[in-house]
Amino acid sequence: MDKILRINMGADGGPQAKTESLGDYAGLGGRAMTSGIVSKEVPPLCHPLGEDNKLVIAPGMLSGSVAAMSGRISVGCKSPLTGGIKESNSGGQPSQMLGRLGYAAIVLEGKPKEKALYKIFINKDGVDVKEDNSLCMLGNYEVVDKMKAEYGEKIHCISIGPVGEMKLSAASIAFTDMEQRPTRHAGRGGVGAVMGAKGVKVIVIDDTGCAARAPADPEKFKAANKEFVAGLRKHPVSGEGLPAYGTNVLTNVINEAGAYPTRNFSTGQFEGAGKISGETQAELENARGGEGSATHGCHRGCVIRCSGTFYDKNGNFLTKQVEYETVWAHGGNCGIDDLDAIAQIDRLDDDFGVDTIELGAAIAVAMEGGVAEFGDAEAATNLVKEVGKGTPLGRILGNGAAVTGQVFGVERVPVVKRQAMPAYDPRAVQGQGVTYATTTMGADHTAGYAVATNILGVGGTVDPLKPEGQVELSRNLQIATAAIDSTGMCVFIAFPILDQPETFQALIDVINGFSGQNLTADDVTALGQSVLKNEREFNAQAGLSSKDDRLPDYFKTEELAPHNVTFAVTDEDLDQVFNF
C-alpha cells in the first residue's frame, strides 16, 4: 500500500479525488494511520460535523496479504459522540480489497456546498465520484442491492443508512461481509454521522485484476503464518469456544461471574441469560440450518470464524449471528430474553446504520425513564423503528444514552465521555472499569479487554472484584490493543498471544516476513504507545482532561448484586494509567 486517496467533498465545482504518496504516514496502517492523520490534520476544537473534520478509512498494515486474520479496518475522525478522537474497527471484505488496490487510507475532507448525496466507485483504473440522490434515506441492504445492480457482483461496499444521513451521534458505517451483506459495522462514536456530514452515502470497491500483496520474504512469511494459525487453533478460546458458539459464548460466563449488566446496570445477573446464551443460540442456528449457520468468518482469511448466520423460523436469512454485545444490549440490558426478537432488532440496526451497543444502552435508559417497560420486546423494536424514521423520539435515542438520560431525567446513565458502556459491569470486572474510564475512545471494551484476565484467566489472573493490579493490567492491554488495531489483525488474536509466547513471536515474524523489517516485541509496544500518545494529545487539545477519565459516580456508591461491590479503583490510580 503506497498511496492515500483524498477526496475533497467541498471542492469548487464538486468533489475532487486525488492520490498522493504516504509521506509522513509511511509504514502506518489501521488505527496508527487513522489516529495519525486525525491528530495531525484535524483541528481538535472543530465541530465534528463541520468541514474541518476528516473521516479516515484505513486497512491494516497486513491487509490485502494472505496473512491470517488480517482483514480488519479502522475508521477515524473527531467523534460527534465523545468530542474526542475516535477509531472504530470493523470486519468485512473492504479492508483486504483496499489493500490490494494499494490504498493505505481513504480521507474524506470538506463537505458539499449544496445538500446532495454521493457515491464513490474505486477500482484499479481510478476513482469516480457521482451525485446520486436516489439513495437518500435508503437502508444499507437496499443500497448494496442497488450498487450490485449497477456495478456488478464482484463489488463490496462501505455505506451509511438513514441514521448516518440524519447525522445522529450513534450512527455506524456498514462494511459488507463475504456474502456482500452490510452486516459488519464500525459502530462506535458516531463515525456514520461524519460520513453523512461529508455527503457520502456509499463507497463501492472493485479489486478485480489486483493480486494479493506480496511479502518481502515469502518463505519467512509463509512459515510464520503457518505457526501463527496453529497457535490460534490450539488455544481454547480462539480454537474452541469462539468457533463453536461465537462471541455470545460470553453470556453464560459473564452472567455466572455476576458481571452481566441487567436492566440498565441495576444488577449483575439476568434470570433469562440461558435463553439468549451462545449455547442456546448455536443450538437454534444448527437446528434451523442454512449456509454458514453456526460458524462463519467476517472476512476472507479469518480462521477463528466466530461469526455465524441467523435464519428466521421460516428458514429465511435475517442477519448475521448476533454478537455478544448486541445480544446483551438489546437483551439482558433491556430485560429481554427472546433471541428472535433480538435478531430482528439487530437486522434493523444494521439496515438503519446505528451502533447496537449505543442504541441498546439508550433504550434501557429510556425504559428506566418510563418510556417502555423492561422486558417488552415489541416496544423495544418499535423504538428502534422510531430511530430509523427520524421521529423526535427516534432522534433522541439515536443520539445515544447520554442524551437520552438527559431528556428523560435518568441518573443511572452508563457512559464515559458520553459513550455507552458495553456488556461488562465495571464493579464486577474492575480492570474493564479502568479501561472504560481511561481509554481515549470513551467507554469501549475492545480498547483494553481486561475481561480476558479478570474473568477468563488469559494472560494470568487478576481478581476482578478488587482494585489491586487493575491499572497495570488495563495499561498493558491498551498498549497491545493499539498495536494490534494497527496491523489489521482481529483483536481476538490477543487470547493466544497472551498465553502462548511462541504465537506472539509468530505474529512478529509474520509482520517482519511481510515488511522486511526486524521488529521486536519492544517495537510492537512502542507502536502501541505512540498511537495512544497521539490520541491523548488530540483529546487534551479538544478539551478533555483527567476529569473525563472517570466512571459515573453511581458506580462508586451503588453496590452491584450478587457480589455487592462498588468500583474501588481510586481517581489517583486512574491518573497513572498512561505513565508508561
pLDDT at 294: 61
Point out the domain boundary residue: 187, 205, 223: 205
Q: Are 115 and 257 in a shared domain?
A: no
Say if 504 falls within a structural domain: no
What cell numbers appear for 256 in the block?
455466572
pLDDT at 292: 61
List the domain range (segments joined by +) for residue 328.
Answer: 248-425
Q: Are 372 and 260 in a shared domain?
A: yes
pLDDT tens over the chain, length 580 residues: 899 999 999 999 999 999 999 999 999 999 999 999 999 999 999 999 999 999 999 999 999 999 999 999 999 999 999 999 999 999 999 999 999 999 999 999 999 988 899 999 999 999 999 999 999 999 999 999 999 999 999 999 999 999 999 999 999 999 999 899 999 999 999 999 999 999 999 999 999 999 999 999 999 999 999 999 999 999 998 888 888 888 899 999 999 999 999 999 999 999 999 999 999 998 998 888 876 666 666 767 788 777 888 999 999 999 999 999 999 999 999 999 999 999 999 999 999 999 999 999 999 999 999 999 999 999 999 999 999 999 999 999 999 999 999 999 999 999 999 999 999 999 999 999 999 999 999 999 999 999 999 999 999 999 999 999 999 999 999 999 999 999 999 888 889 999 999 999 999 999 999 999 999 999 999 999 999 999 999 999 999 999 999 999 999 999 999 999 999 999 999 999 999 8
We report the CATH number of the domain holding residue 495 as 1.10.599.10
Q: Are 467 and 551 in a shared domain?
A: yes
pLDDT at 240: 85
What is the SS3 assignment for 126-171?
A: EEEEEECHHHCCCCHHHHHHHHHHHHCCCCEEEECCHHHHCCCCCE
Say if 185 falls within a structural domain: yes
Q: Are 152 and 254 in a shared domain?
A: no
Say if 455 falls within a structural domain: yes
Q: Are 473 and 416 in a shared domain?
A: no
Q: Are 442 and 411 in a shared domain?
A: no
What cell numbers appear for 559 in the block?
453496590
Enclosing H/E stretch for 338: none
Burial class (CB in 10 A: 0-12, 13-18, 19+), 45: exposed
Identify the bridge partners of residue 320 per DSSP, sorted by sequence position. Answer: 309
Q: How far is CA 481 from the centre of its chain?
A: 13
We report the CATH number of the domain holding residue 397 as 1.10.569.10
We report the CATH number of the domain holding residue 61 as 3.60.9.10
Burial class (CB in 10 A: 0-12, 13-18, 19+), 494: buried
Point out the domain boundary residue: 171, 205, 239: 205
Point out the domain boundary residue: 143, 174, 205: 205
Q: Are 490 and 404 in a shared domain?
A: no
pLDDT at 296: 67
Q: Are 258 and 376 in a shared domain?
A: yes
Q: Are 418 and 439 in a shared domain?
A: no
Say how far apart CA 210 and CA 465 lie, in whole Å: 51
Say if 188 falls within a structural domain: yes
Q: Are 290 and 408 in a shared domain?
A: yes
Q: Are 357 and 393 in a shared domain?
A: yes
Q: Are 466 and 402 in a shared domain?
A: no
Overall domain count for the chain: 3
Say if 123 falls within a structural domain: yes
Global pTM reads 0.97
The C-alpha angle 87, 393, 134, rounded to 5 degrees, equals: 65
